């Protein structure tokens, strides 16, 4: 049983983008993996 109902998983090539993509998908935000890698670099 999932704690978050109707969780859509993002299938990414990196653990950072998979986690970020899954969280963003939950809020109906879909970004490409390169965009998420760029955002992660900016946050870091």
User: How do residues 20-33 score in pLDDT, each as one tens digit?
Assistant: 888 888 888 999 99
Residue 44, pLDDT > 70, answer no
CA distance 4 to 38: 27
Q: CA–CA separation, 24 vs 2, rounded Å?
A: 17
Q: What pLDDT score does 7 carry?
A: 81
| pLDDT of 10 over the 90 cut | no
């Amino acid at each position: 049983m999932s704690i978050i109902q109707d969780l859509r998983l993002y299938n990414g090539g990196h653990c950072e983008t998979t986690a970020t993509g899954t969280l963003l998908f939950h809020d109906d935000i879909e970004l490409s993996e390169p965009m998420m890698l760029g955002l992660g670099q900016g946050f870091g």
